[in-house]
Homo-oligomer: A and B are copies of this chain.
Amino acid sequence: MTRRNAAIIAVGTEMLGPLRQDSNSLWLSARLEEVGISVVRKSVVADDLDAIGEEVAASAGIAELVVTTGGLGPTADDMTVAAVARRLGFSLERNEAFLAEMRRRFERRGLRMAACNEKQADFIVGARVLANPRGTAPGFWIEHGGKDIIVLPGVPSEMKEIMEDSVLSELARRAGGAVSRRRVLRIAGMGESAVEEIVAPLYEKWKDDPVTILASPGEVQLHLKVTGPPEEAQRRLVSMEADFRAALGSRVYGVDGEDLPAALGKLLRERKETLALAESCTGGMIGSLITDVPGSSDYFLGGVVSYADSAKEGLLGVSPGTLARFGAVSVEVAGEMARGARERFGASVGASVTGIAGPDGGTPEKPVGTVCLAVSGPGERAIAKKRMFPGDRAVVRRAAALFCLHLIRRQVLEEPTPD
């Protein structure tokens, strides 16, 4: 069994300042871990020929695999390819066929290619070119002094696709032996300590395999991880997951990359339900989350963002009497909003959120963080809930949006949500 290690370099002066942070390395660490490669060092360097070159050389002295991200763009401060080639003694050659194809792509979009783009056709002689289906600049795989240096773009979607398409399977093949397998169980509608209380009795049985609990607004994730030869690791992970699922039941809405909007979408599609929304304090966030999922038009019909009270009456049919008597943030108004959305869009399920996200608008009876939510349907079923979410405006809005998705899921599953 060979264990390999890697160093990750993020190139970009902006990531040395106070405003931007490298985030690619988190994803890279996760994927490299799966093929048995541990990250032993991460660094960020400026857009500077010498600094990039020295960093790559130093990293190659420490780790067997070096992955760089960023600095492949068209502007003057993009210089990773030139820096790596110069420091490691490779030459560059302009690829005319690639350049012509770049020009054609610009023309197809009715644009003129700026002269500065041309350098993206400068290829490292002797490197493997890694195709970039989502962008202009390709990546490169250089073998040098027994080390592998992989040069990737900084745009996350481009970097990820090149890794998936051209890098990870090759690294897995070479790794041969031990791998890590991780399974993330995702839970909504409850807090971190409530989840921990349920699973704590399992810690003793699985004490050799790390379990991590991560909380974010509106969601708790349980990360299960095992390391070993591929088949044994897989077997142990399956058994570990079964134990944790037995304890948590349908509180687990999804696994790994499946988020709550995707899990809810799958459920709605299976049950042939359709959904409409009435959003107030979330302002469209729930619709945005639902329609992040490709194919969501199969079950999502639309929504009304009723930020002004007049829209609650006019577009959703909330009665002026209910508004006057209970106020816009009340379970009564939430209930009428959900029913109104369901009726107006002809959906089988309607859901609503109305609340006080802050920083202003709170009162002693209804402080900032008060949110009322309702679900109407499927069939005759209807629920309305009131919740207090702690945190600032952004946290309250996100927690409210995810809790609404959670309520819809439980309602469609015909499982009650405790108060």
Binding site for B on A (CB under 8 A): 13-21, 23, 26-27, 29-30, 33, 38-47, 51, 54-55, 58, 62, 73-77, 109, 114, 116-117, 134, 157, 182, 184, 192-194, 196-197, 203, 210, 212-215, 223, 277, 279, 281-288, 290-292, 294-297, 300-308, 310-311, 314-315, 344-346, 358-360, 388, 390-395, 397
The 9 closest A-B pairs by CB, nearest first: A283-B291, A284-B287, A284-B284, A18-B30, A43-B43, A285-B288, A302-B311, A303-B305, A284-B288
Contacts A283-B288, A287-B305 given; indicate if A193 touches B18 (C-beta within 8 A). Answer: no
- Contact present for B44 and A42 (CB under 8 Å): yes
- Contact present for A360 and B184 (CB under 8 Å): no
- Contact present for B41 and A43 (CB under 8 Å): yes
- Contact present for A308 and B345 (CB under 8 Å): yes
Q: How far is the CB of A363 from chain B (nearest CB, A)?
A: 15
Contacts A75-B192, A358-B294, A360-B294 given; indicate if A182 touches B41 (C-beta within 8 A). Answer: no
Q: How far is the CB of A358 from chain B (nearest CB, A)?
A: 7
Q: Give chain B residues whose Cβ lies under 8 Å from the Cβ of A184.
A: 19
Contact of A287 among B15, B39, B283, B392 (CB under 8 A): B283
Q: Give chain B residues whose Cβ lies under 8 Å from the Cβ of A39.
A: 16-17
- Contact present for A223 and B307 (CB under 8 Å): no
Contact of A75 among B19, B77, B213 (CB under 8 A): B213
Considering only CB atoms, which chain B residue lies closest to A43 in the complex? B43
Contact of A46 among B40, B46, B360 (CB under 8 A): B40
Contact of A41 among B26, B51, B314 (CB under 8 A): B51
Considering only CB atoms, which chain B residue lies closest to A16 in the complex? B39
Q: Give chain B residues whose Cβ lies under 8 Å from the Cβ of A390.
A: 109
Considering only CB atoms, which chain B residue lies closest to A184 in the complex? B19
Contacts A19-B214, A21-B21, A283-B287 given; indicate if A302 touches B292 (C-beta within 8 A). Answer: no
Q: How far is the CB of A237 from chain B (nearest CB, A)?
A: 15
A307 to B14, CA, bound (A): 38
Considering only CB atoms, which chain B residue lies closest to A390 in the complex? B109
Considering only CB atoms, which chain B residue lies closest to A285 in the complex? B288
A344 to B13, CA, bound (A): 48
A74 to B220, CA, bound (A): 14
A19 to B20, CA, bound (A): 18
- Contact present for B311 and A75 (CB under 8 Å): no
- Contact present for A288 and B288 (CB under 8 Å): yes
Contacts A304-B305, A307-B300, A315-B344 given; indicate if A14 touches B223 (C-beta within 8 A). Answer: yes
- Contact present for A27 and B16 (CB under 8 Å): no
Q: Give chain B residues whose Cβ lies under 8 Å from the Cβ of A117.
A: 193
Considering only CB atoms, which chain B residue lies closest to A15 in the complex? B42
Q: How far is the CB of A272 from chain B (nearest CB, A)?
A: 15
Q: Give chain B residues whose Cβ lies under 8 Å from the Cβ of A391.
A: 134, 157
A310 to B300, CA, bound (A): 12
A396 to B39, CA, bound (A): 33
- Contact present for B212 and A13 (CB under 8 Å): yes
- Contact present for A26 and B33 (CB under 8 Å): no
Contacts A75-B192, A116-B193, A212-B14 given; indicate if A302 touches B315 (C-beta within 8 A). Answer: yes
- Contact present for B307 and A302 (CB under 8 Å): yes
- Contact present for A114 and B193 (CB under 8 Å): yes
- Contact present for A392 and B75 (CB under 8 Å): no
